[in-house]
Chains A and B, each alone.
Chain A
Amino acid sequence: MIGVFHPGTSLVHRAPALLKLGLLTLIVTVVAMAPSPIVLGAASVLVIVLVAVARIPLRLAWSQVVPILWVLAVAVPVQVLFGGWEAAAVMAVRLVLAVALAAVYTLTTPVTATLDAMQALLRPFRRWVDADRVGLALALTIRCVPLLADLVREVLEARRARGAEGSLTALAVPVIVRALRTADHLGEALTARGFDD
């Protein structure tokens, strides 16, 4: 899941966030553009090396990739049907690689470092974009993932407790209402913490 930082002192951890972000973008682009087996193979080896150097526990690394496997379980058969085996395999490998690379980045980079990198990146454009605000938006987006996950889990439990398991309304309505209320509270708390413009 996004936003889990695995602290460490490896080279991958210590590399500047801006550099990591740049390399991530570059490699994902190359993987997306060049479907040759050599490129995909090299990228796979790179991911394994990075995970090893950063000493990311295998179970943690695996848990980052699992969600995308569910997507593939649906997407691969469709792709086989329309594009054949080869295209399906290339697509699957590319997706897994992109997710794994992004996971290596989030696992080894504190969000604060990403925010600082974003601000450095946006500094030349400060007349047009407020880097602080972009950073804040990014932090809030990351914050919302576990918040929303908790919310859905609580509402699912409450729905089960009331025996309304099948009802989509009994899921959607409380989730939306509570998400909006949470957004309200979060906004208020940000104002109180001095982020009020």
Chain B
Amino acid sequence: MSQIAFDHVSHRFDAETVVDDVSLVLREHRIGIVGANGSGKSTLARMVNGLVLPTAGRVTVDGLDLARHAREVRRRVGFVFTNADNQIVMPTVREDVAFTLRRHKLPATDAAARVDAVLDRFGLTELADRPAHRLSGGQKQLLAIASVLVAEPDIVVADEPTTLLDARNARRIAEHFASLEQQLIVVSHHLELLEGFDRVIVMEAGRVVADDAPRPALDAYRALIA
């Protein structure tokens, strides 16, 4: 597993401090982040691949500072967004997965083999030539995840990947996440998604207020919002 380190990290939008002096070292396989709306979870998650840079402090992945090496780190960190519609670029399912690999300059046969393997893994083979924008919400999210994983990242960050899905699709996505060998950081309001995780971080007003195994951390969070 990689080591993701937040060293006295803060982030301000104008006058508002959204992330407030957070220090964390993340080495676990599966890490969950929970917290009320606006508590700074998305901002924190985005910092792991440099989509947001801290206004104070340092974020590093295996010692690489995001402020200077965002491009290198991004190659190793995949990001899954809440709304797959914003992430899908190409017209068909297969093309969208293949699109990720365009920057990797692989030989065409290798790229095609990797795309096929990922489509198969996520049960998208049958839909491969369908227009991506006409998939169901659950299928779109599977496609978004497949398009991230085809690049074989070391770390996958997902910001509320199941929020727009019904219970059944949310469970399917959760199962896929559980089967990933990659290091995983998931922001979620679906607390049951995080129960099998190794560590759960609870955010409140930009600060980490609990950081523990899932059971005690989620209990602390439930007490907080009760």
Contacts and interface: CB of A to CB of B under 8 A. Distances in A.
Q: Is the A/B pair a real complex?
A: yes
Interface of A: 3-5, 7, 110-112, 115, 132, 135, 139-140, 142-143, 146-147, 150, 182, 185-186, 188-197
B89 interface: yes
B83 to A, nearest CB: 7
B87 A143 contact: no
B91 interface: yes
Nearest to A189: B87
Interface in B70-86: 70-71, 74-75, 78-79, 81, 83, 85-86
Contact of A192 (B74, B91, B95, B102): B74
A192 B42 CA distance: 14
A147 B103 contact: no
B129 A5 contact: yes
Given A5-B129, A110-B92, A139-B99, A196 B74 contact: yes
B14 to A, nearest CB: 18
B105 to A, nearest CB: 10
A4 B91 contact: yes
Nearest to B83: A185
A115 B103 CA distance: 13
A194 B129 contact: no
Given A139-B99, A147-B133, A194-B103, A111 B91 contact: yes
A197 B70 CA distance: 11
Given A139-B90, A140-B89, A191-B51, A150 B133 contact: yes
Contacts of B162: none
A191 B50 CA distance: 9
Contact of A193 (B70, B92, B95, B147): B147
16 contacts: A110-B92, A139-B99, A142-B91, A147-B85, A147-B133, A185-B83, A185-B86, A186-B87, A188-B86, A189-B89, A191-B74, A192-B79, A192-B81, A193-B99, A193-B151, A194-B71
Nearest to A106: B91
Nearest to A135: B102
B95 A112 contact: yes
Interface string B117-160: 00000000000010101000000000000011001000000000
B98 interface: yes
Contacts of B78: 192
Interface string B89-110: 1111001001110110000000
B187 to A, nearest CB: 14
Given A135-B102, A192-B81, A194-B100, 15 more contacts: A111-B92, A112-B98, A140-B89, A142-B91, A147-B133, A182-B86, A185-B86, A186-B86, A189-B86, A189-B89, A192-B74, A193-B79, A193-B147, A194-B71, A194-B75
B90 A146 contact: no
Contacts of A135: 102
Contacts of A189: 79, 81, 86-87, 89
B49 interface: yes
A143 B129 contact: no
A130 to B, nearest CB: 12
A195 B103 contact: yes
B91 A3 contact: yes
Nearest to B78: A192
A5 B51 contact: no
B22 to A, nearest CB: 21
Contact of A194 (B89, B131, B151): B151
A191 B70 CA distance: 10
Contacts of B74: 191-192, 194, 196
Contacts of A192: 49, 51, 74, 78-79, 81
Contact of A146 (B86, B95, B131): B131
A112 B91 CA distance: 9
A191 B51 CA distance: 8
